[in-house]
Amino acid sequence: MRLLANLALQNLGRRKARSFLLIAAVAIGSGVVFTGATLMRSIDDSMAVGFTRLGADMMVVPEGALTNITAALLTVEPTDLVLDADVLARASIASLGRIAPQKIVRVGHSGIGGHHDLVDLIGIDPARDFTIQPWLKEKLNRELRAGDVILGAGRDVPLGSQLLIFGKPHLVYGKLGRTGVGTHERGVFMSFATLEALTGSMPQHGDVRPAALSPGKVTGFLVELAPGATALQARFAILSAVKGAKVVTGDSSLSGIRQGLAALLQGILALMILMFASMAVMVSVLFSAIVTERRGELGLLKAIGARRAQLVGMMVIEAVIATGVGGVLGVALGVLVMRLYERSLVYYLDNIGVPFIWLDLPQTVAYAAAAIVLASAIGALGALYPAWRASRRDAYELVRGES
């Protein structure tokens, strides 16, 4: 094995210019793939957050409820009108994607803020919510639990501190970033269970309690369209299936952008796969030429007793060394490109408040390792067939080809 590796290394050193070009080509290819894959995943994650931050595509509330429509974010306004929590699930509408139910109660004398401040207590289902949690700017390093609250950016209470709501202690689990939307800025968010647990502590006007606090009832739903579905289709489907509901749609262009960009990312992925495939073909063609050029040497080695496996092994090791080194250099190149990207575009995006979430370190390392392994595998596969074919030929035929 060591002998074959030495021979392979010496062969690479013999044709320095060609080895350099091969390594450079593989470095560029694997660098593009590594950088592309890492950036694409980062963009994908960032888009997922960014688009979710843009809020829902539409909102389903009881007929007669007030709604707040801003350019980018749909929010439900507190109301005494409610819907059944499972009304959309029962309707089973294909044009709907994610559905996040919310309960909203506006209360005074809660202990939060000034004595007369009205506070929106907003119940969410953490497992289904996609409009509040993406705005989390800071949070405790665990899941949201009963008794935890999330505060809007307008409330200046430290993370992890205790907050009394109607005399009951709650823990500040997280804080939202600035949204510019009142409900989000001043709201106090919690799970349905936490909100419903406050029912007994709230001052009552006679026997009347806010309808939204009743189990199985919600103030409204924030809805994301299914891929390819239009707001019009969804609106008609909801109105025909749910009696007494009102459908409010936001900026429809956002849905289009979301769906279009997802398709674009798929297209980029396909292009990267094509690029890798073309690199594999190029390496294969190159090694086919190298094997042809070196048939005399292969014949000689065969004549002095090298086995077919040893000949194939030598060529494959040579290819793996060249493409592996190319892969490592490609990853290094990719890291440099991403640093440049971070200092320019990502910095700019950050300044204008657009989040860019880099792939975490373990995943980035995994992508780098995959790029190097793939580059090496392409080398091995590219050299395997021409080497195997040459090894099958008579030694004399190979030797005579050279001489």
Report the interface residues with another protein, using CB under 8 A: 3, 7, 10-11, 13-14, 297, 299-310, 394-397, 399, 403
Measured from the CB atom, the residue of 10 and 278 that comes closer to another protein is 10
- In terms of Cβ atoms closer than 10 Å to its own Cβ (0-12, 13-18, 19+), residue 183 is buried
Measured from the CB atom, the residue of 127 and 304 that comes closer to another protein is 304
- Terminal Cα-to-Cα distance of the chain (whole angstroms): 28
How many helices (H) and strands (E) are present in the chain, helices listed first? Answer: 12, 14
Distances in whole angstroms, Cα of residue 358 to Cα of each of 36, 140, 189, 270 = 13, 20, 28, 22
Residue 285: CB minimum distance to another protein, A? 24
Question: Alpha-carbon distance 375 to 58, whole Å?
Answer: 46
Q: Determine contact, residues 153/176, Cβ cutoff 8 Å.
A: yes
Question: Alpha-carbon distance 301 to 398, whole Å?
Answer: 10
Residue 284: CB minimum distance to another protein, A? 24
Measured from the CB atom, the residue of 104 and 298 that comes closer to another protein is 298
Q: At what angle do helices 252-293 and 361-392 cross, to 10 degrees?
A: 30
Residue 52: CB minimum distance to another protein, A? 59
Question: Alpha-carbon distance 380 to 37, whole Å?
Answer: 22
Residue 290: CB minimum distance to another protein, A? 14
Q: Determine contact, residues 227/98, Cβ cutoff 8 Å.
A: no
Measured from the CB atom, the residue of 90 and 308 that comes closer to another protein is 308
Residue 398: CB minimum distance to another protein, A? 9
Residue 304: CB minimum distance to another protein, A? 4
Measured from the CB atom, the residue of 342 and 394 that comes closer to another protein is 394
Residue 393: CB minimum distance to another protein, A? 10
Measured from the CB atom, the residue of 304 and 352 that comes closer to another protein is 304
Q: Determine contact, residues 119/189, Cβ cutoff 8 Å.
A: no
Measured from the CB atom, the residue of 239 and 300 that comes closer to another protein is 300
Measured from the CB atom, the residue of 23 and 399 that comes closer to another protein is 399
Residue partners of 378: CB distance under 8 A and separation at least 6: 26, 276, 279, 280, 283, 323
One-character DSSP codes across 204-217? -BTTB--GGGSTTE
Residue 16: CB minimum distance to another protein, A? 12
What stretches of 155-204 show up as alpha helix (H) in DSSP? 182-186, 192-196
Residue 12: CB minimum distance to another protein, A? 9
**3-state DSSP call for residue 157?**
coil
Question: Alpha-carbon distance 295 to 231, whole Å?
Answer: 66
Measured from the CB atom, the residue of 310 and 363 that comes closer to another protein is 310
| C-beta atoms surrounding 41 within 10 Å | 18
